[in-house]
Structure 1
Amino acid sequence: MKKSFLVLFCVISVQLVFSQVRELDGGFGGLGGVNQNRDSLPGGEIDVELSGRTKYTDYKIISHKRDTTIIDTTLTIQKNYKFNFLRKDNFELLAFHNQGQTFNNLGYDFNTTSQFPDIGFRAKQFNYINIEDVKYYHVPTPTTEILYRGGLEQGQVLETLFTANFSKRLNVALMYKGIRSLGAYRRSLASTGNFRVSFHYVTPKGQYAIRGHAVNQDFTNQENGGLTAESLLNFLTDNPNFSGSRGRLDVELNDTESVLEGKRLFFEHTFKLLSSKDSLNNRDFSNLKVGHQFTRDSKYFEFKQVTPSDIFDTDRAVGVLNNQTDYLLYNNELFLDFNSKYVLGRFRVKTSYTNYDYGYKYLQNNLVGIANNKLKGSAISFGADWNGKINNFYVNATGSLTPGSGRLAGNNLYAEAYYKKDSLFTVKAKLRINNKLPNFNFLLHQSIYNKFNWENNFASTGTRILGGEIKSKWGNASVDLTNIDNYTYFDEQGLPKQHSGTVNYLKLKVSKEFSLGKFSLDNTLMYQKVASGSEVLRVPELVSRNTLYFSDNWFRGNPLFVQIGATFKYFSKYKANAYNPLLGEFTLQNTTDIGYPTIDLFFNGRVRRTRIYFKAENISSFFLEKNYLSAPSHPYRDFTIRFGVVWNWFI
């Protein structure tokens, strides 16, 4: 973690250097989107001045889609759910025992399907920062956020953010997240790093605007292949010889690790060709912009092993055990934006040229008859976006078409319409249609293990989603009905297959919080049903999370706000997928049913803009059956106590 603390030192130093920057108004030259959402802050905090000249509403976060929120320093139950190394609510995920490792799926979100095939190795990408995950900022004074969270056995998570406006029109943000956690079992060390820098700039008259980011990230995991059959039995039967020292349990692999690295450069700039003013409010009501977007995205996956193991394959070639897979994508997009009250919002037409290169430096196995070590190609795409608004009714749509018969050919359409009635309720309907080839590691893969070599000509996977969502002060509900043709998966042997039938998947989720005085009960329930294709897509039928907690202000003057409670989570038994470290993917399995409850206790507090978290995880392991697995032969974590803190500075 030396890199983490070096970054922390640099952030604090830069914070002090820029502490003289003070006065700055809100807004940022048209970078806000059609839908500008604001986080609500309880207790009138939103109007509290920080320095006599700035307010919380001045500290803005701008998403990739240009939606605007504010930096929120409150302590809520949702913040408690997101206090993990992903910084996301992992309700639909089943974590492995050590943070920095992968997750099994309790539910699937096919709304995030990309336009083009990716490198694959999906089990390694839960912590990967995509283009949509990078945030841009607009702040009146230099701003810092630091997160610390303890690791398992040894190590910690440290995430730092520093952002400052050099002027009203230029902002730069630096972010770094480092994880190093030893883990309780042999060969389960996780060490990762995510570095991001983002910026945006607008000329004084708003004619030219540019934003962009650079991301460098790496994820290294020791891979133990799970417990041996004898060790797994000792775990399930709670053998007292191993209860207090999980490191004594034997594992399948003792000299194996995997590495995923990614580097990305992205920028988007626009030039305003034409604009008109509304005579009533002196604001732009019609403008014509030309723009260019550039993306260079490279990924690299390596499976390292000192000696071969029979758990993968007994038939293998003689050679290097380090499988190295490379992926590089270039995308250049030209677009024309037209914004007018007569077209009810912003309309964009776009065309892009994409070039990809995936594969291996050379043929690694001469026993399996693979002809190609690389897949290369390019394609031209056409599309359009529309963001419209009529009073409280919003419409957002985006579509793209890549004609031809190449590996990038396909189409992607997403449309949503929603009605928002102040803070009372929001009703949304959405539709997605996507057709594209499976990820590249389904099409070409090499290994010295003979059976893990293939070169496939799979058909395009067609995904259709029809969904709806209701958010209100009385509760939230969402439903997604997903239909998939040519669903692609890895079978029990770890081989890529396409399902000949259609997968029909229903996901229904409801949530509601009840409060009485200082006590609250937050509830989330998810029901899932795979009507057809359940032999290839496995999910638990029920997943629930219930949190009972107490909130109060303590001491004179209310300097400390506390939350004390317990979270009960349960998912019904299902044949959860098995993890294959050589593939960096999850595969089907038909021998082990996994499903159990867990109970976590927490004590959270907030002092001004500092949030403090104490959590006792899986306290249920003391009195419930020792059947808690994250995947076959991979136990979930035992009882452990975690401490963490999130600290914001506004200088």
Structure 2
Amino acid sequence: MKKIAFLLFFMVFCVEAQEKDTLSVKNVTASIELYKYYNLKKDTIQIDTSLTIQDEYRYNYLRKDTYGLLPFANEGYLYTQLDFSKKKSVILPQFGFQAKHITYLEADDINYYSVPTPYTDIYFKTVMRQGQSLDALLSVNTKRNLNFTIANKSIRSIGDYYNNLTSSGHFRFSSSYYTLNKKYYLNAHFAGQDIFNQENGGISNLTQFEIENPAFTQRERLDVYFNDASSKLKGNRFFIDHFYKFREVNSLVFKHQFSYENKFYEFIQNTPVARLGVATTQLINNKTRFNALYNKFGVSFLTKKLGELQFFIDQYATNTFYNTSNVFTPIASLPSNLRNTIVTLGGQYEFYRAKWRFVVLAQNGLSSKPTSNFEVTATYKIDQYNAITISGQQTSKIPDNTYVLSQSSYQNFNWYNSFANEKISKLNFEAKTKWLNISGQYSLLTDHLYFYNTQERIDSLMVKPFQYGKTIQYYAVEIAKEIKYKKFALDNRIKFQQVTQEDAILNVPKFIIRNTFYYTNAVFKKAMLLQMGVTCNYFTKYYADDYVPVIGEFFVQKTTKIGDFPLLDFFVNARVKQTRIYLKAEHINALFGKNDYYNAPNYPYRDFKIRFGLEWNFFK
């Protein structure tokens, strides 16, 4: 970390930052509009160095708006998902350990750049205790049609509570290329990620946290469940996406996508604890390995008037495995691996005409394990300020591997199951207007998979996977509106959620609210743009899922509700040329309110903190 910090500060002094509108390098002037990046969906985004309220929302470890996510006490650790509508439906079986994947960068999260001159983006933010969070990116076009980008995001934070250190690294290298005749295009990347967390299992005596005792204001003094447990999620991915088209329009297009990824999740504990049940070894060292190979071949016909019609076939082969095969009672035998080979055949039609955009996708499994996915999206763009989107999706999803197979030195966490596919139907509506933004979702879930603690006690965890054979209906409506008056603004966002079910399986807060009142003004003869304000986040009480680190998953619980407390943050931000400066006092009402704020039944939310950070953009 010290070497990386030194390199970054060296770059700060070596790179000459220019004005916002134009960037000059060796007598060559490049407009800021030419600096762009895009994702696999070909959504192109212009690099923006301005300072808006959205930059304030995105200034966090995930570097995206975390509305609907509640971060745990230590930075980069876990997030409680308040907003169920943001959960993605993937038809292919995943590795599992989903709670640990919130900070893991998937293939869709990698961006590809096009810059006329070398571009550098640096993110820095202080953490809870003894460490820092850093994300640095350097992008260079060696030629107009060839780009190389290297980036690394890392964090180290001891945290306020005992045995809760976070230490992670996310290295990315990406490249994009196209031939000068613009017939062949290539995007490729490598991602190496290492997410390490000490796991304390939460505080074991809630009274120590909730009472006003000065001895426990130093949070490391609070008793926790695990004193020597840790987890690690590590993965490497090689990815290629390329296509060739014979002509610019009215042409055949051949497409290919390839991905190879290997991962492992490891839970280590030097001393077994009774809370997790009977252990068969004195040293707990559970390690689950996972390999995934994906190939997709497609051919499409691209026309100017009728859009693009594509047919494709893909193969997804995975292997989840352990080094040994354990034998426990009452389970007679557990296999040492779980293999999946899934072949699907599909078609997609995209149509763009005037203000309309239609996308239809149909995909169905050909292998012995059936799976299917049908999606329809229609967008009507009235003008640059107003647009309406309606979409629907119906998915039959193969269970993730952690639901099917688990091996552990703790007897309670061993299973080998055969579950039916999860069936998920969604209908979404979104209207973006100059007056307000409104969106809604209706979801119907059948054969929903979940984890549940059969002991129904916080101090005893016997978490097992279950399948809910009855239907679950989920409704959500979200409204967002920003009101501006001169140099003042009030940004509002509210979400209403409702679940209809016979048993309390899917639990969400009914309301999620965020209000930000802020002031923006140019000061010091307009050399600095100043932004200051206060944000209030709130959600109603509900039975939030708890967390078990042995399998890196959240599980359903019906004993303790959390929520119904405000989170007040005061911030002062500034922009000088391409540098954005952030200063925030987080959760200021913790100084005078009750200690009743939790992420999960025994995981407290963050205390009051003052944190500082910077975002630098350099165009050389």
Alignment of 1:221-370 (within 5 A): 221-229=197-205, 232-243=206-217, 245-272=218-245, 274-275=246-247, 284-313=248-277, 315-318=278-281, 320-343=283-306, 345-367=307-329, 368-370=331-333
| 2:507 aligned with 1:538 | yes
TM-score, structure 2 as length reference: 0.95
- Where do 4+ consecutive residues of structure 1 move more than 6 Å? 9-13
Q: Is the 8 A contact 1:370 1:453 kept in 2?
A: no
Tell which deviates more after alignment, 213-222 or 389-398.
389-398
Paired with 2:386 and 2:9, the residues of 1 have a C-alpha distance of: 44
The AA in structure 2 aligned to 1:420 is K
SS of equivalent to 1:311: helix
Alignment of 1:187-206 (within 5 A): 187-206=163-182
Shift of 1:359: 2.3
Q: Is the 8 A contact 1:612 1:644 kept in 2?
A: yes
The AA in structure 1 aligned to 2:541 is K
Tell which deviates more after alignment, 122-131 or 107-116.
107-116
Q: Is the 8 A contact 2:254 2:300 kept in 1?
A: yes
1:34: which partner in 2?
A: none
The AA in structure 2 aligned to 1:425 is N
Task: Specify whether residues 374 and 186 from structure 1 end up closer, same or farther in structure 2 by C-alpha distance, changes over 3 A only.
Answer: same
Task: Specify whether residues 541 and 252 from structure 1 end up closer, same or farther in structure 2 by C-alpha distance, changes over 3 A only.
Answer: same
Percent identical pairs in the alignment equals: 35
Q: Is the 8 A contact 2:271 2:282 kept in 1?
A: no
Alignment of 1:583-602 (within 5 A): 583-595=551-563, 596-602=565-571
1:624: which partner in 2?
A: 593
| 2:516 aligned with 1:547 | yes
1:129: which partner in 2?
A: 105
Alignment deviations for residues 546-593 of structure 1 (CA, whole Å, 9 cap, x no partner)? 00001100011x011011100011100111111111110111122211
Paired with 1:155 and 1:520, the residues of 2 have a C-alpha distance of: 34
Task: Specify whether residues 125 and 607 from structure 1 end up closer, same or farther in structure 2 by C-alpha distance, changes over 3 A only.
Answer: same
Task: Specify whether residues 401 and 6 from structure 1 end up closer, same or farther in structure 2 by C-alpha distance, changes over 3 A only.
Answer: farther
Paired with 2:363 and 2:283, the residues of 1 have a C-alpha distance of: 42
Alignment deviations for residues 60-79 of structure 1 (CA, whole Å, 9 cap, x no partner)? 11111111110011111111
Tell which deviates more after alignment, 126-135 or 368-377.
368-377
Shift of 1:88: 1.2
Task: Specify whether residues 76 and 564 from structure 1 end up closer, same or farther in structure 2 by C-alpha distance, changes over 3 A only.
Answer: same
Alignment of 1:65-464 (within 5 A): 65-109=41-85, 112-229=88-205, 232-243=206-217, 245-272=218-245, 274-275=246-247, 284-313=248-277, 315-318=278-281, 320-343=283-306, 345-367=307-329, 368-406=331-369, 409-464=370-425
Paired with 1:635 and 1:111, the residues of 2 have a C-alpha distance of: 24
SS of equivalent to 2:403: helix
The AA in structure 2 aligned to 1:603 is V
Alignment deviations for residues 21-76 of structure 1 (CA, whole Å, 9 cap, x no partner)? x9xxxxxxxxxxxxxxxxxxxxxx98x22226211110011111111110011111
Shift of 1:2: 3.7
Q: Is the 8 A contact 2:38 2:45 kept in 1?
A: yes
Q: Is the 8 A contact 1:365 1:446 kept in 2?
A: no
Paired with 1:480 and 1:139, the residues of 2 have a C-alpha distance of: 38
> Unaligned 5+ residue runs, structure 2?
455-462
The AA in structure 1 aligned to 2:225 is E
Alignment deviations for residues 217-273 of structure 1 (CA, whole Å, 9 cap, x no partner)? 0100000011112xx202112222212x1111111111100000111111022223x
Tell which deviates more after alignment, 472-481 or 414-423.
414-423
Paired with 2:11 and 2:397, the residues of 1 have a C-alpha distance of: 42
SS of equivalent to 1:54: strand
Q: Is the 8 A contact 1:11 1:162 kept in 2?
A: no
Paired with 1:240 and 1:453, the residues of 2 have a C-alpha distance of: 43
Paired with 2:443 and 2:368, the residues of 1 have a C-alpha distance of: 25
Task: Specify whether residues 317 and 642 from structure 1 end up closer, same or farther in structure 2 by C-alpha distance, changes over 3 A only.
Answer: same
Task: Specify whether residues 216 and 102 from structure 1 end up closer, same or farther in structure 2 by C-alpha distance, changes over 3 A only.
Answer: same
Task: Specify whether residues 11 and 339 from structure 1 end up closer, same or farther in structure 2 by C-alpha distance, changes over 3 A only.
Answer: farther
SS of equivalent to 2:418: coil
Paired with 1:518 and 1:495, the residues of 2 have a C-alpha distance of: 54
2:458: which partner in 1?
A: none
Shift of 1:346: 2.1
Shift of 1:3: 6.0
Alignment of 1:2-41 (within 5 A): 2=2, 4-5=4-5, 8=8
Alignment deviations for residues 609-636 of structure 1 (CA, whole Å, 9 cap, x no partner)? 1110000000011222110011111111
1:572: which partner in 2?
A: 540
1:37: which partner in 2?
A: none
Paired with 2:176 and 2:551, the residues of 1 have a C-alpha distance of: 38
Task: Specify whether residues 118 and 157 from structure 1 end up closer, same or farther in structure 2 by C-alpha distance, changes over 3 A only.
Answer: same
The AA in structure 2 aligned to 1:569 is N
The AA in structure 2 aligned to 1:537 is L
SS of equivalent to 2:276: coil
2:459: which partner in 1?
A: none
Alignment of 1:464-479 (within 5 A): 464-479=425-440
The AA in structure 1 aligned to 2:408 is S
Q: Is the 8 A contact 1:486 1:500 kept in 2?
A: yes
2:460: which partner in 1?
A: none
Paired with 2:10 and 2:189, the residues of 1 have a C-alpha distance of: 19
The AA in structure 1 aligned to 2:551 is L
Paired with 1:198 and 1:579, the residues of 2 have a C-alpha distance of: 34
What is the total number of aligned residue pairs between the two structures? Answer: 606
Alignment deviations for residues 104-146 of structure 1 (CA, whole Å, 9 cap, x no partner)? 1111136621120101111101111111111001110000000
